[in-house]
A and B are shown apart, each in its own frame.
Chain A
Amino acid sequence: MNGWTGQFLRVNLTDRTHRVESFSEEFADTWIGGRGFAVKILYDELAPGIDPLGPDNKLVVAVGPISGIPAPNTGKTIVAAKSPATGGYGDGNLGTRVTDQLRKAGYDALIVEGRAERPTMLVIEDDRVSFESAEEVWGKGTIATNDWIYSRFDKGAGVLNIGQGGENMVNFAVVRSFEGRSGGRPGMGAVMGSKLLKAIVVKGTKPIPQAFPAAMKTLGRDDLREVHKIDKEAAWSVQGTTGVLPWCNEVAALPVHNFRGTSHPDAWMVDGERVHAARVATYGCPNCTMRCGIAVLDDEGREAEVDYENIGLLGPNLDLYDLPQVGALNYLCDDYGLDTISAGGVLGFYADAIERGATPGEPLFGDAAAFKKLLGLIAHRDGGIGNLLADGVLRAARAFGHGSEDYAMHVKGLEISAYNCKFIPGMALAFGVSPIGAHHKESWIITYEVNQTPREGYGRDKAQKIVDLQRIRGGLFESLITCRFPWVEVGWGVEHYPVYFNTITGKEWKLEDFWPISDRIYALIKLFWLREYPDTDRSADYPPAAWFDPANADTEGPIAGRILERDKYDGLLQHYYDIRGYDTRGVPTRATLESLGLDAEASAAEAYATIR
């Protein structure tokens, strides 16, 4: 079998054992890799209702057939588990040397089970697996932990680790890589922490099986150069993702003051131009020529790697318009190993709840020092408020009451990314039907919607566009697995990816051959959620009530007086279900599941819920 190593490595932390398992080419063709492998493994192996922070949960680290091969932006790895934030399927991708090192060690996925007795660093060196003590760095942040690890291993080793947020099982703790990247927003870092797994180190020396290695080497090298050339011409990397902030501010899509506002006159102070001017370093993932990690100095002189999501939610969403202050919150999140999006959502929600009288406290908006302190309390689950906010906005709102649930900005327990959709129906739906809770990576329809369609439209065209984007972004890219940025940021054609796949595997697939697999992955994720929430209905796919509240409409600007309309949103949601072949609850029908080859999975789900 070319393109895959054909092996998983299964490690049990409880009894410190490991074994290598083979998988078939049919399995590979059915699930491709990355997210596909992760959801299939988790669906088959996790019993419904398990504690996501208990030893029965499993962490899957998965790559795919083009992962780690020198070609445009192939340095990504999936981390997945049952999410403590949502109770459903959770995953995320991050750039890391683990991607190519895991493949070179001979594995397409690592499955971590059980719970260690003491803080542990899992070390994988080809066939050798060892369980080393991490007690020396337990309690330390990700930056010090990385330094400690790389004092023991060469710089070519792949490393994943967690900070205090993961150790203390904060629901939005992430996994961090040496490259300064984070992944696994729905608490994948907390799952590592629950297993007392501080770090994973991977080193490999074997060749990655490829059908046409010489051809792939030439193709990958040439295309890396071409993407770099296009990026240079477009100057995308000059500002990276932070360039989007002024557009969001212009079209009333920026999260301001816990998503109450959609733009702010001071937003320019934290936009891409200011980030570019303040840049002190640039970082990128392996096999990337579009290095988007722009570091600026924070208010204590530390390097903080910022991007749009971080700035949007830790800046305007908290009424902060000072780049070094925003950078400081970003730095602390990264060091504690907290997701910046959820952290900004949680801090904004808490400040809003105080302002509206739902909970006592001093005013917070605009107070960078107070927010810094709160991040420390959250990361350590220190005190009542630190412990509560560490659970995320859904649970905090339940505790506060007084109507605060209406402005807890989340879907399914995952905080919303930095796009304020109070009058952007399609993007609101994209958050609603994202398979991990509110996240932008699956279907970023917003620029298409605002620029190419009537913004107030709720038509089937928007639902179709969301499905199309999910198939490419959430299915194709997350299973191959590779970064979406060359395609979406500089227009590198999606048709290149089957060419890479075919050159590596020796197959002759067309682009459209990947869509049923994408649909299969999404359908199985839906079944995972259904088993956990058998009484689910379409309300789970709704955005927060604040986006439907006429009292929350802007009073000036391009969308003054406009807000989402609940009945029309419901119609848009139904269009999505119809295209997907889901029933009125948002559950795939039996006919849909059978058409995707998920007969057995459907039968397994029927033990817990109804499949219509």
Chain B
Amino acid sequence: MKITLKLVGGFVHTVGFSQKELDVEPGTTVADILASIAIDLGRPMIIARNGHGVQPDEVVQEGDRILVSPIFSGG
């Protein structure tokens, strides 16, 4: 099934892309996706699915848009 992965801030530069459509197996979790692109879950980050907060152990669904961002404090 297809999902969209959007990276924000420093992750764009450390991982090497801004947005990508991924083909994943049913049952794939957010953590599985992050591991596949070598993002360290120990780093402070915020993750959203379709505009809402989501935890790493949650399973993604067909058509989901997952956004992964470092922690920010604003200007």
Give the B-binding residues of A (Cβ under 8 A).
Answer: 233-236, 238-239, 241, 243-244, 246-247, 250-252, 272-273, 276, 292, 307-310, 417-419, 440-441, 444, 447, 450-453, 455, 484-485, 488-491, 557-559
Contact = CB atoms under 8 A, between A and B. Distances in A.
B27 interface: no
27 contacts: A234-B14, A234-B70, A235-B14, A236-B9, A238-B12, A239-B12, A241-B75, A244-B72, A246-B69, A251-B53, A272-B9, A276-B13, A292-B75, A418-B75, A419-B74, A441-B74, A444-B73, A447-B71, A450-B48, A451-B53, A452-B53, A455-B53, A488-B71, A489-B70, A557-B51, A558-B50, A559-B51
B11, B18, B44, B46: residue with the most chain A Cβ atoms closer than 10 Å: B46
Given A252-B51, A272-B8, A309-B75, 4 more contacts: A238-B9, A440-B74, A484-B73, A489-B71
Interface string B1-17: 00000101111111000
B52 interface: yes
Given A250-B51, A451-B46, A244 B69 contact: yes
Contacts of B50: 558
Question: What are the nearest 8 A-B pairs in CB distance?
Answer: A558-B51, A243-B9, A235-B10, A307-B75, A309-B75, A488-B73, A244-B72, A451-B53
B60 interface: no
B48 to A, nearest CB: 5
A452 B10 CA distance: 21
Contacts of A310: 75
Q: What is the interface residue range for chain B against chain A?
A: 20 to 34
A251 B52 CA distance: 6
B52 A558 contact: yes
Nearest to B50: A558
Interface in B1-57: 6, 8-14, 18, 43-44, 46-48, 50-53
Given A244-B72, A491-B44, A273 B12 contact: yes
B67 A246 contact: yes
Given A236-B9, A273-B18, A241 B74 contact: yes
B23 to A, nearest CB: 22
B10 A238 contact: yes
B46 A247 contact: yes
Contacts of B52: 251, 450, 455, 558
Contacts of B71: 447, 488-489, 491
Contacts of B75: 241, 292, 307-310, 418
Nearest to A250: B67
Nearest to B12: A273
A491 B43 CA distance: 8
Nearest to A313: B75
A418 B74 contact: yes
A233 B10 CA distance: 9
Nearest to A243: B9
A274 B70 CA distance: 17
Contacts of A484: 73
Contacts of A272: 8-9, 12
A234 B71 CA distance: 10
Contacts of B73: 241, 444, 484-485, 488-489
Given A234-B43, A238-B13, A244 B74 contact: yes
Contacts of A308: 72, 74-75
Contacts of B48: 247, 250-251, 450-451
Contacts of B12: 238-239, 272-273
Contacts of A309: 74-75
A243 B74 contact: no
Contacts of A250: 6, 48, 51, 65, 67
Contacts of B65: 250
Contacts of B43: 234, 491
A587 B9 CA distance: 40
A238, A244, A310: residue with the most chain B Cβ atoms closer than 10 Å: A244
Contacts of B69: 243-244, 246-247
Given A244-B9, A247-B8, A489 B72 contact: yes
A451 B66 CA distance: 13
A416 to B, nearest CB: 12
B65 to A, nearest CB: 8
Nearest to B9: A243
Contacts of B70: 234, 236, 243, 489
A451 B47 contact: yes
A557 B14 CA distance: 29
A251, A484, A491: residue with the most chain B Cβ atoms closer than 10 Å: A251
B47 A235 contact: no
Nearest to A487: B73
A252 B6 CA distance: 15
A270 to B, nearest CB: 13
Nearest to A417: B74
Nearest to B69: A247
Given A247-B67, A308-B75, A488-B71, A239 B51 contact: no
Given A234-B43, A250-B67, A450-B48, A239 B53 contact: no
A557 B51 CA distance: 8
B72 A241 contact: yes
Contacts of B8: 243-244, 246-247, 272
A236 B44 CA distance: 12
A444 B74 contact: yes
Contact of B13 (A235, A440, A447): A235
B9, B46, B50: residue with the most chain A Cβ atoms closer than 10 Å: B9
Nearest to A473: B73
Contacts of A247: 8-9, 46, 48, 67, 69, 72
Contacts of A444: 73-74
A234 B52 CA distance: 24
Contacts of B74: 241, 244, 308-309, 417-419, 440-441, 444
Contact of B10 (A243, A252, A419, A491): A243
